[in-house]
Amino acid sequence: MKNITLGLLGFGTVGVGVADGLRKNGALLTRRTGLRFTLGKIADLDWDTPRDITVDPALTTTDGFSVVQDPGIDIVVELIGGTGVARELILAALEAGKPVVTANKALLARHGAELYRAAARNNVDLRFEASTGGCIPIVRAIREDLIANRFAGIYGILNGTCNYILTRMEAEQAAFEDVLREAQALGYAEAEPSLDIDGHDTAHKTTLLASLLHEAPVALESVPVQGIRGLSPEDIRLAGELGYRIKLLARIECDNGDIRAEVRPALIPRHSLLAQVSGPFNAIMVKTDMADTTLYVGRGAGRNPTASAVLSDVADVARNMACGCPRRVPGLDSEQPAVAVKSLAQTKAKYYIRVSHALADTCPDPVRACLKKDGLNIESAVTRPLSSGHAAATACVASPTTEERVRACAARLKSLQSRHEQPVWMSIQEGL
Ligand code: HSE
């Protein structure tokens, strides 16, 4: 029986999950693949922090390069994260002819083009199932299961931390900062939590999914991003009264060879499947011509779910090695620079618009007049007293229009607001 030896780079939450998964389910993996998996070396700079797993000290090192250069290591698993030493180590491993499995979405979103080319040049696999959607097998679904389809788009909840925060804020009126701390303690949040709450982690994953749909690297900087920091409990409540739930939504649409994308909080109908996805769960809805709509749901963060995706890539790469067919599924390498996504701002959508004002009447006339001036029709509206000091807030659903019109209207509405704060507006995504 062929033995496959793994070199682990990074022994944090997910690294420990991979070692633990191998310990518990290694025999199962062997039965299913006919291959034996062993941990050959583990690199981490910190061996003082206690972990809830014991490893043979002979396997441990602080030198990641000694792992990638070790001729006894068959597959390198990169779980360090970030775009610094992780990039150097992956490049070194690929140049040494070793396949790499990584969960590093930030690195692939920023430097994917360079890494995909290095993998192609050296005829080795570079796999990243765990980078997007935690345990959800979305990379495989797009690249293999839906291979006969033309893609229309993807709508996704891609950040477990944000979804956890939004769920708790809605269900228990929990305070943003308290829930964020819990998400960190549960191992969902990034070491730097602004990556989660300001939408950058979702943008990394959106860039990867857009690259998969476009079959070539997409430029991260071109994806507009807005996170959930500053989202008020009042908007969560008012959106609920209007029949919607707020989610941090990744939107990718394929349009005649162009790719459009953005990451923003958006309202989705409360009865839709996507709106039911709560807590740390992620959901990815894929729209294609033949399969129509498919929806993938699962834990998007956390030790074991992410480790499950890492080990699925390890098994797949090992099978490729065993049958002598590396890159059975080709990579995303391209000689062209990463493609910029186009804007979704011209796409018409319904909009949620909320104004705080000193008037207690139902959708006061000045608000109605202001929306009308910009050609916005109100489909429904609620006016409620506010907890935050203003007398009342009116939240409206405007019938489909462009972002440009909503921006113009919001600038005009600002003069009606108490203390001249910005009105809040978000797009409404129907059809999910
Ligand atoms: N911080 C990420 C999340 C981890 O909350 O989704 C998984 O990528």
* pLDDT for residue 419 is more than 60: no
Quick check: CB of 187 below 6 Å from ligand 1? no
Instruction: Tell me what pLDDT residue 9 has.
Output: 98
Quick check: CB of 79 below 6 Å from ligand 1? no
Query: Among 48-52, 179-183, 281-285, 319-323, where is mean pLDDT lowest?
Result: 179-183
- DSSP-assigned beta bridge partners for residue 281: 299
The whole-number average pLDDT for the span 333-353 is: 91
Is residue 336 domain-resident? no
Q: Are 130 and 105 a contacting pair, CB within 8 Å?
A: no
Most confident of 73-77, 234-238, 334-338, 427-431: 73-77
Share of the chain above pLDDT 90, in %: 79
Does the annotation mark 205 as catalytic? yes
Asked if residue 144 and residue 120 are part of one domain, the reply reads no
Asked if residue 240 and residue 208 are part of one domain, the reply reads yes
Most confident of 105-114, 335-344, 362-371, 378-387: 105-114
Contacts of residue 110, Cβ cutoff 8 Å, sequence gap at least 6: 83, 204, 220
Count CB neighbours of 258 within 10 A.
12
Quick check: CB of 81 below 6 Å from ligand 1? no
Is residue 343 domain-resident? no
Alpha carbon of 251 to ligand 1 centroid (Å): 18
Asked if residue 52 and residue 151 are part of one domain, the reply reads no
CATH number, domain of 33, equals 3.40.50.720
Ligand 1 atom at shortest distance from the alpha carbon of 131: 8
Asked if residue 309 and residue 404 are part of one domain, the reply reads no
Q: Are 396 and 353 a contacting pair, CB within 8 Å?
A: yes
Smallest CA separation from ligand 1 atom 7, residue: 301
Is residue 327 domain-resident? no
Instruction: Tell me what pLDDT residue 389 has.
Output: 58
CATH number, domain of 206, equals 3.30.360.10
The whole-number average pLDDT for the span 151-157 is: 98
Smallest CA separation from ligand 1 atom 8, residue: 301
Alpha carbon of 361 to ligand 1 centroid (Å): 43
Is residue 251 domain-resident? yes
Instruction: Tell me what pLDDT residue 362 has.
Output: 67
Is residue 263 domain-resident? yes
28 or 192, which is more confident: 28
Asked if residue 171 and residue 149 are part of one domain, the reply reads yes
Instruction: Tell me what pLDDT residue 319 has.
Output: 98
* pLDDT for residue 182 is more than 60: yes
Instruction: Tell me what pLDDT residue 345 has.
Output: 86
Instruction: Tell me what pLDDT residue 224 has.
Output: 97
CATH number, domain of 405, equals 3.30.70.260
Asked if residue 270 and residue 189 are part of one domain, the reply reads yes
Quick check: CB of 130 below 6 Å from ligand 1? no
Quick check: CB of 125 below 6 Å from ligand 1? no
Is residue 368 domain-resident? yes
Q: How many structural domains comprise the chain?
A: 3
> 327 pLDDT band (50/70/90 cuts)?
very high
Tens of pLDDT, residues 243-285: 999 999 999 999 888 999 999 999 999 999 999 999 999 999 9
Asked if residue 161 and residue 129 are part of one domain, the reply reads no
Question: In 3-state terms, what secondary structure has residue 256?
Answer: coil
Alpha carbon of 257 to ligand 1 centroid (Å): 30
Query: Among 36-50, 88-102, 308-322, 373-387, where is mean pLDDT lowest?
Result: 373-387
Asked if residue 146 and residue 123 are part of one domain, the reply reads no
Is residue 330 domain-resident? no
Instruction: Tell me what pLDDT residue 158 has.
Output: 98
Is residue 162 domain-resident? yes
Contacts of residue 273, Cβ cutoff 8 Å, sequence gap at least 6: 283, 285, 295, 432
Quick check: CB of 300 below 6 Å from ligand 1? yes
41, 98, 105, 205: the catalytic one is 205
* pLDDT for residue 382 is more than 80: yes
Alpha carbon of 159 to ligand 1 centroid (Å): 5
Instruction: Tell me what pLDDT residue 219 has.
Output: 97
Instruction: Tell me what pLDDT residue 240 has.
Output: 96
The DSSP symbol for 145 reads I
Instruction: Tell me what pLDDT residue 277 has.
Output: 97
Round to whole Å and give the CA distance between 141 and 144: 6
* pLDDT for residue 21 is more than 90: yes
Asked if residue 278 and residue 424 are part of one domain, the reply reads no
Which domain range does residue 234 map to? 138-299
Round to whole Å and give the CA distance between 404 and 345: 7
Alpha carbon of 195 to ligand 1 centroid (Å): 9
Instruction: Tell me what pLDDT residue 392 has.
Output: 82
Asked if residue 95 and residue 169 are part of one domain, the reply reads no
* pLDDT for residue 22 is more than 90: yes
Asked if residue 170 and residue 259 are part of one domain, the reply reads yes
Asked if residue 279 and residue 176 are part of one domain, the reply reads yes
Query: Among 154-163, 176-185, 280-289, 356-365, where is mean pLDDT lowest?
Result: 356-365
